[in-house]
Amino acid sequence: MDPQPFRYPDHALIMAPLSGFTDLAYRRAARKGGCHYAFTEMVDAASLAFANGNGEFLLLRGEEEEFFATQLVGADPEMLKRACAKLNERDFTLLDFNLGCPVPKVVKKGAGAALGQNIKSAHECFAVLSRESRFQLTAKLRILDALDPNPTLELCAGLVELGATALTIHGRTREHFYTGDVAFDIIRAVKEKFPQVQVIANGGVNSAETYRIMREKSGCDLVMLAQGIMGNPWLFRELSGVHNQPPTLEEWREMVLFHIREMIAVYGETSAMRQARKIVHDYLKGRGFPAALRAEASALSTFADLENLLAHAVPAAVTTSIRRIL
């Protein structure tokens, strides 16, 4: 391991590993919005071990990506070992372990948030990564109890002992998915217990105000952005203080075109445009565009379709800038 472990700089904003989203094209769009610290999508250990699925697309690295991290999910020690061997052939700044994903297809395999709730097994799996991976390790987890910090502290203690240099804490339990109050006190308890580790707070940050509240109430070192940046890569520049104005209509249009062009460069037009429908929906969401435009986004088949949609979107907007309606 590097004798000088990587540490995020103070006030760094980190983009979460978002399954189905944070591919190379997504990261490039986010970087245009001010992001520097970005992860690949969450990678399933068994799929990577057996070269199933779209692992090659998930792990594509842009030549401009100075910081490049990935995240593994899985609950089978043997699959995690094999996945580490595959990842060791590549180059990453960090390897993160997912102990927080609440999606049913993940938890039914005993992985993600389900593994996080099984503290002994979680530590055993992280020990495999500690032995087998050549990369610096971090972990992303959910709080285990919104009122009692002890279960979360127990989980974190084992991860830190096994070499985790940063812990990302989603301040909601598995049962609450992505809604409801964030348990700031539990995140603060983790930071107070493990001052030597960078504690990164996650959950519900989608504006300058929610960012301020998260920093003040949780006592975290840093914040990881997730759903708040979906369709809103400009959130990075807003929270960093570089530029706190919403994008102009022309900036918004150019970002959408850039993002989808990058997808086409990776996947080809046919596949990219199928995937682009959800991406375009996110760019339209909460900005006051008419329902007809959102319906049109669901039928995109070609890049020309997108250009036509945007030609209708700009006149449909009621202002020259488009702040996200929260």
Q: What percent of the chain has pLDDT over 90?
A: 80
- What is the dotted CATH code of the domain comprising 13-240? 3.20.20.70
Across 21-25, 131-135, 179-183, 314-318, least confident range: 314-318
Cβ-contact 182, 172 below 8 angstroms:
yes
pLDDT at 1 (0 to 100)? 46
pLDDT greater than 80 at residue 19: yes
Give CA–CA dist 261/255, Å, rounded. 10
Give CA–CA dist 38/142, Å, rounded. 20
Give CA–CA dist 148/125, Å, rounded. 24
Give CA–CA dist 68/39, Å, rounded. 6
DSSP symbols for 124-150: HHHHHHHHH-SS-EEEEEE-S-SS--H
pLDDT at 222 (0 to 100)? 97
pLDDT in tens, 251-283: 999 999 999 999 999 999 999 999 999 999 999
Q: Report DSSP state, residue 248.
A: B
Mean pLDDT of the chain: 91
Q: How far is CA 84 from CA 104, 105, 292, in A?
A: 24, 22, 46
pLDDT at 316 (0 to 100)? 56
pLDDT at 243 (0 to 100)? 67
Q: What percent of the chain has pLDDT over 70?
A: 93
Cβ-contact 23, 34 below 8 angstroms:
no
Give CA–CA dist 135/215, Å, rounded. 28
Cβ-contact 129, 169 below 8 angstroms:
no
pLDDT at 37 (0 to 100)? 97
Please give the helix or strand (H or E) that residue 134 lies within, else none.
Answer: none
What tokens does 110 get? Answer: 């005993």
- The confidence band for 240, taking pLDDT boundaries of 50, 70 and 90, is confident
pLDDT greater than 60 at residue 320: no
pLDDT in tens, 100-145: 999 999 999 999 999 999 999 999 999 999 999 999 999 999 999 9
pLDDT in tens, 214-238: 999 999 999 999 999 999 999 999 9
Cβ-contact 132, 85 below 8 angstroms:
yes
Q: How far is CA 250 from CA 42, 63, 139, 238, 274, in A?
A: 32, 27, 39, 18, 24
Give CA–CA dist 44/50, Å, rounded. 10
Pairing relation of β-strands 37-44 and 13-15? Answer: parallel
pLDDT at 13 (0 to 100)? 97
Q: Residue 62 in 3-state DSSP?
A: coil
Give CA–CA dist 10/222, Å, rounded. 7
Domain boundaries, the chain: 13-240, 249-316
Tokens 């590549």 — which residue?
Answer: 90
Q: pTM (2 decimals)? A: 0.92
